[in-house]
Structure 1
Amino acid sequence: MARSATLTILFIALMTPTLICFSKITNGGYLYPQFYYQSCPQATSIIRSIVAQAIAKDSRMAASLLRLHFHDCFVKGCDASILLDNDGAVNDDLVGSLHNIVSEKGSVPNTNSVRGFEVIDDIKAALETACPQIVSCADILALAARDSIVLAGGPSWEVPVGRRDSLGASLHGSNRNIPAPNNTLQTIITKFKLNGLDITDLVALSGAHTIGNARCTSFKQRLYGNKHNDQTDKLFAAQLQTNCPRSGGDENLFFLDYVTPMKFDNSYYRNLMDSKGLLTSDQILFKENQETMRIVKEYADNQDIFFEQFSKSMIKMGNISPLTGFRGQIRKSCRMIEV
């Protein structure tokens, strides 16, 4: 029966290539937008509705849901490992064993940074009512990220789905693999490359910083005696110092894109060209590498080109080592593995 269904899907794909977009996964299996069309046809509308409600209540949530997907995919692949809560383990040696999860939520990149878990809980609860144990938490993250971008005025794309959820987390991987605001450009390039993403993907996905906020502690060192402070517009730096003092104020929030902070557009790249990028990892894209500088200028000049590449790079990022077939599981609660 399963073999027949697979052959039917492949036959349809060959006959109508413009309708079905497969994403081949290097370790086997396929992701494709129509994965839930029969098993849970209302899945996308349920997710879109709850994301819209969440963003209407809190405009920051669009960036938060996008960040959840990004931080998930860069650790063990796009498998919803970031959503797992602590469950008794004390170190990564026990990760993956039953009831012994060291949550990635406690990593340096995630502490006081990632948010939106309650929105994912709401989505999962609604989906479990509509179609129990069908839609994975990993796919919820990917679809919620896309919907967040659209609701913020950005591009839309068909999200290939069919991911399954991990049976463990990696606190060590979260601390090591997620690009940090103060990483060198070469370090960031390497972290992207290790996940199959190139320089074009790096610059395009960095454009996600056209929405959202960053804490003072994320960029403070570049304001006070850091070697990168000559990369920042002096007036802009002075304005930042007002609410990001040398001592204290670490949790104060600042817009990543001070021009249109709630709108997904290409002003982020124009800010970089004006030396008004908030994070070191932002501004170095237009200071230290000829190729990244060229791409920044291209996106600053043409929003359509940015939107097109951002969509492609999001699909590519969503293909990082997903669990497919019979690997992993479909969790009932995104916070814990199923027994």
Structure 2
Amino acid sequence: MKILMLLPELDEGGVERHVIMLSDAMQQAGHSVDIASWGGKLEKQLPRGIQHYKVRVHSKNLLTLYWTAREISRLVRKNGYDVIHAHARAPAWAAMWVSRATKTPLVVSAHCSYGNKSKWIYKPHRSASAVICVSESVRQDMTTCFSDNAIVIRNGLPPAPSWETPIKAEATKLLFIGRLASVKGLQDALHALAQVRSEKLWTLDVVGDGPMEQDLKNLTKELGLKDKVHFHGFRDDTDQWMLNSDCLLFPSYREGLSLTLARAIQMGMPVLASNIPSVKELSAGEAYYPEPGDIPAWSTALTSLVEGQMPQSDFIPKKIPTVTQMAANTLGVYAGVLNRSDAKANGELS
């Protein structure tokens, strides 16, 4: 098969890393994959053989997306793609118009639950041959926005190194990895850490960048945490940061299925996570998880952590598929879509 992946950008984020891993696995399985996006720092991580086309699919202006769709349609006709796979809402609009213009089947991935559930926004999802949700929690939360074409394929990951308790240091080493945006909840973790009353020492390493970076640095100073909280920007060696830390903080308000959380679970690393559906989906459902935004609850949990009591999570690593399994399941969706498309073209389906 020849597949064209569409996503807004190739900057830092779970969607970008997901597309890169998925495309690489499909290519290794003998398929041809190209990517269209506005580009970004992760372009350098694209596997050999995958062509990248820079197009304005990151725009939220429908007129811009319409003209971008015309450009992509020419690309689809030239390269003869069998399937168009859009990741995110804006590229899905362009992909819908391309699909109609070129008669190429469309698949859309839903990587998270959105607060805005206005039906018109998700017209491309309902018109797609299939919608792939990265978790059951996404499928259930967005069910009114999609038609009956939604299925679940969880994000997969490559084999992970095993986490072992780091050599005891003077301070408990906490870690946050992610995009610096309000939905990730780091601002709450900082407020909660400022309320920790313990003689034990701790530090927090923040790995990632994003729109709230400067605001979070300012907040760190205002809370008197400048000497304990260290911002390191975007890094591509996150496994090593996990191996060298005592506990991952995951205070998110909303997630589809976080690759960072999944990686920590794979590795066996202690995690203090918020009580959101996608977190509970990866657990046995019996451990305690503080509510997102509940600063007193997070402060209590963090105090216990700093005092040496690691979170008693009940995550189930087997719930996270391999990249190969994820790719095989996705290719199975493509095959089903193409079979239905052929049957319809031959008059076998109404």
Q: Which has the higher contact order (CA 8 A, sep 6+)?
A: 1
- Would you tell me which structure has more helix in proportion to its own residues? 1
TM-score by length of 2: 0.29
- Would you tell me which structure has more strand in proportion to its own residues? 2
